[in-house]
Amino acid sequence: MKYIITFVLLTQILFSAPAFPGKRLFTQPDGTVIEYQNRGDEYLHWSESKDGDILLYNKDNARLEYATIKDGHLMPSGTSYLPHTKTNRSSMKHLSKKDLQSLYLLKREERSERTHQQHTH
């Protein structure tokens, strides 16, 4: 049993991959250029603006939006990210790094449990 647990943990470590750490540029549909970095790994991934805002790409409208947590998942909020816009920043509650860290740990734990169940059945 000890060897199985060790194997499962090593497998998770070996297949974990961090997001590309370099800076990237994205052009919103309105022409606004946003500088961001990808963060996370296979458990949870997001984009982070220069200002530290947590962003996600919304495939439906091809925009980077502020991220939110809904039903235990990181999702686009529906509010387009606009850099350095105080009115936009103050108009909604932004996702905190603490909230994101809690979700990240939850996703890692869920993945670990699923992997453990697959190897024990």
Residue partners of 64: CB distance under 8 A and separation at least 6:
26, 28, 34, 36, 47, 55, 56, 57, 58, 80, 81
Residue 4 pLDDT level (bands cut at 50, 70, 90): low
Reported as a pLDDT band with limits 50, 70 and 90, residue 85 is: low
Whole-number pLDDT of residue 117: 74
Residue 45 has a CB neighbour count (10 Å cut-off) of 15
pLDDT in tens, 8-58: 444 554 455 555 668 999 999 999 999 999 998 888 899 999 888 999 999
User: What pLDDT, on a 0 to 100 scale, did the predictor assign at position 17?
Assistant: 55
Checking if the pLDDT of 95 tops 60, the result is yes
Least confident of 72-76, 82-86, 95-99: 82-86
Range of 8-12, 85-89, 109-113 with top mean pLDDT = 109-113
- Residue 105 in this model has a pLDDT that exceeds 70: yes
| CA pair distance 42, 40, nearest whole angstrom | 7
* pLDDT score recorded for residue 14: 46
Over residues 66-79, the pLDDT tens digits come to: 999 999 899 999 99
CA distance 41 to 51: 21
Contacts 24+ apart (CB under 8 A), 59-62: 61/29, 62/29
Q: ∠ at Cα 18 (14, 19), nearest 5°?
A: 145
What are 6's strand-pairing partners? Answer: none
- Do residues 34 and 47 lie in contact, with contact meaning Cβ atoms separated by under 8 Å? no
Let me know the angle formed at the C-alpha of 103 by 64 and 22, rounded to the nearest 5 degrees: 45
